[in-house]
A and B are shown apart, each in its own frame.
Chain A
Amino acid sequence: MADLLSHEELLLRLEIEDFFYREADLLDEHRYEEWLDLFTEDARYHAPMNRNVSSQEMDRQLTREAIEMSWFDEGKDTLVKRVKQIRTGVHWAEEPLSRVTHFVSNVRLLDSGSDQVGAGEIRVKSRFLVHRSRLEDEDNTWIGNRIDTLRRVDGEWKISRREIYIDQSVLLSKNLTNFF
């Protein structure tokens, strides 16, 4: 039988779920500047690529952060630039803005107060389903999981690290204009 969650753990998970739902609203309502405020200044945003490798070599499935190529491998500074680009009004890939819906589910606390995370940090795993509808009939879906490291800063949760694991190996969308 699985360990029962304590009352505190349950409340914490609800708090984190609420954080993710609010975050999804900011993204889906194109409130990108407010979304950026959810990240710490030293945040990492990493989306490795998948390789199809032998089941005996699963350690080589994902491209490695800062060593190999990734869909995204950056910090807050370039996320800020991406938002600025969208706001120019001439970023054709997001002009007009796409309609995007973020689903977040399977939220589970992985670590708190362990060696994996810093003081005041927790690690959270979740699943995402992101849907993009663009212009008349363009339709894309990305499904995968995320591992976030959240840090308590001045009483509020901030994302200090986001790992995004998109299930696809060959990306089946023409570009990646939205955030995960």
Chain B
Amino acid sequence: MVQLTSEMKRLVDSESGTVSREIFWNQDLYDQEMEQVFNRSWLFVGHESQIPEPGDFILGRMGEEAVIVSRGRDEKVHVFLNSCRHRGNRVCRYDQGNSFTHMCSFHGWTYDSTGALVALPYHENGYDQMDKSQWGLLQARVEVFHGSIWATWDKTAPSFHEYLGGSDFYLATGLMHTDGSDNGAEVLGGVVKWRLGCNWKVPCPDTDTTHGWITHRSTALGLGVGPTGNPVRPREDRSVSVGQVRSRYTVSFPEGHTMGVTIPEDSDPGWGDSATWENNPAVRDYLREKFELRKKRLGVMAHLSVGPAIFPNEGWLGRVVRIMHPQGPAMTEIWTYFFVDKDAPQEVKSALGQHYELYYGPGGVTQQDDMENWYALTIASRGPVAQKLDLNYQMRLTEPPLHGPTEFNMPGLFAHNYSDENHRRYYQRWAEVMQAKDWGEMAPTMSAAVQGDWVTNRNGR
């Protein structure tokens, strides 16, 4: 395990379960994050369904910076920095479109759909010594995972697969078709983008299991049905969803990825049986039909519905992906992508889209209240007195993780559903990445833990 320096341990102490508020406010730490975390991690920049044809492009973000995500003439996905190599101007001024060239509006330097510099004025006379191949837009490394597009600036970073460290199993389920076939999802048009005055880590990891009963109490009382379609009214034997009746766990990875997982059982209800679709036969019947196929394909794992929060800034809620883009220590731009089955009937896509709109996004009945809390904790933490008080992540601190990766034949470090274990893993990883000089210094934690050093007693399921 990576030994944290005393300074880093002052900020993040996963043994005592405390985190300094400074990491949400300090400009120097933020600047260090941009270099250490955002310039080295694999970051979600979009989905293939947004750029199906050669020349299609969308804008994405990597840290504070804008990137162009382009389907090249070569049909491959390219990700390059949206900044002209000549004088630094923004090259692409559109959120999306189709073009085989991107011309800078300042002096006309022009790049193709793979980011290569293909034309510049006065080239013949003015730049006779220049090697154009050296002056293309800065290219990121790109990997496409079940349709989702990930990029990193770091040439020394491990492959995306290795970076996921076993959580690929979970990530793939979120990108499947309802019928269990691979890569069957598409982004419903329009990425929802808004700004929120909080540090980008405040909503991370996006798997907080203990806030819903009170943060979203008005959703329970006002609407009766939560975003997952389960009754949200708290009951004695269950909390906010059916999945928590039994065998629900928080699951983390030493790489900082976190999620909530319900151990699937054959008797679990299918997606079409959710209360949300009781009065919508079109969606209900569609989901029932496709879910039967899913069960044939995946067996009991058909019931596994989990999208992991991938370190550092990606989070899933059902088939909704949220990315927290940093915009300074106390400002975040949230981009949300909503997934549906590519080939679903329009009526089904519409109903799902309207369901997403009602619960998620800035106008969503659940997310409105998240934003309120995330903003308010930012305001209430900025003073010099508050800054000296550590935050508490001690829930079930003394309980070791329940078991190692093999217990349920599913990967990850399982812990009680109501615990801060995911947060502790996330911030521990953040601290490691913040101080590590290179990937060599980060690697040992991964292998040791994944190989089972964390296997301890299993106490209660």
Q: Which residues of B contact A73 (CB under 8 A)?
A: 353-354, 357
A-B contact pairs, 19 of them (CB 8 A): A51-B95, A69-B353, A73-B353, A74-B357, A74-B358, A81-B365, A85-B219, A90-B217, A90-B218, A90-B221, A91-B368, A92-B369, A170-B194, A170-B333, A171-B193, A171-B195, A174-B195, A174-B372, A175-B368
Q: Is B368 a contact of A176 with CB atoms below 8 Å?
A: yes
Give residues 95-151 of B contacting A (CB, 8 Å).
Answer: 95-97
Tell whether A52 pairs with B94 under 8 Å between CB atoms, given A69-B338, A91-B369: yes
Closest 4 CB pairs of A and B: A85-B222, A68-B189, A91-B218, A171-B194
Query: Which residue in A49, A54, A91 is a CB contact (below 8 Å) of B190?
Result: A49
By beta carbon, the residue of chain B nearest A71 is B363
Select one of B95, B358, B362 contacting A173, CB under 8 A: B362
Q: Given the known inter-chain contacts A51-B96, A88-B217, A176-B363, please indicate yes or no for A78 contacting B189, CB distance below 8 A.
A: no
B368-421 CB contacts (< 8 Å) to partner A: 368-369, 371-375
Question: Is A169 a contact partner of B193 (Cβ separation < 8 A)?
Answer: yes
**A84 interfacial contact with B, CB 8 Å:** yes
The answer to whether B222 and A175 have CB atoms under 8 Å apart is no
A-side residues, CB < 8 A to B, are: 47, 49, 51-54, 57, 60, 63-64, 66-74, 78, 81-82, 84-88, 90-94, 138, 169-177
Q: Is the CB of A175 within 8 A of B362?
A: yes
Give the interface centre of B94, B358, B372, B374 by most chain A CB atoms within 10 Å: B372
> Are B363 and A91 interface neighbours, CB within 8 A?
no
Instruction: Give chain A nearest CB distance to B92 CB in angstroms.
Output: 10
A87 B190 Cβ-Cβ under 8 A: no
Chain B residues positioned under 8 Å from A63 (CB to CB): 189-190
- Could you tell me the distance between the alpha carbons of A47 and B363 in the complex, rounded to whole angstroms? 11
Judging by beta carbons under 8 Å apart, are B357 and A72 in contact?
yes
Complex Cα gap A177–B194 (Å)? 14
* Chain B, range 192-213, C-beta contacts under 8 Å to A: 192-197
B371 interface neighbour in A78, A84, A175, Cβ under 8 Å: A175
Are B193 and A68 neighbours in the complex by a CB distance under 8 Å? no
Complex CA–CA separation, A86 to B363 (angstroms): 13
B338 and A173: CB pair below 8 A? no
Bound Cα distance A91, B353 (Å):
23
> Which A residues lie within 8 Å of B191 (CB)?
69
With A72-B363, A172-B194, A175-B363 as contacts: A53 and B346 at CB distance below 8 Å:
no
Query: Interface digits, B203-246 against A, CB 8 Å rule (1 contact, 0 not)?
Result: 00000000000110111011100000000000000000000000
In Å, the complex CA distance between A74 and B353 comes to 10
**How far apart are the CA atoms of A68 and B190 in the complex, in Å?**
6
- Which one of A81, A90, A171, A175 contacts B223 once the chains associate, using CB atoms below 8 Å? A81
Closest-CB distance, B198 to chain A (whole angstroms):
8
Contact indicator A66/B350 (Cβ below 8 Å)? yes
Query: What is the CA–CA distance of A3 and B194 in the complex, to the nearest angstrom?
Result: 42
Is the pair B368, A177 in contact by a Cβ cutoff of 8 Å?
A: yes
A174 and B362 contacting across the interface, CB-CB below 8 Å:
yes
A70 in contact with B222 (CB, 8 Å): no
User: Is the CB of B46 closer than 8 A to any CB of chain A?
Assistant: no
Docked pose: A171 CA to B96 CA in angstroms = 18
Contact among A52, A60, A67, A93 for B349, CB-based, below 8 A:
A67
Chain A residues near B197 (CB-CB < 8 A): 174
Q: Write the chain A residue with the least CB distance to B221.
A: A88
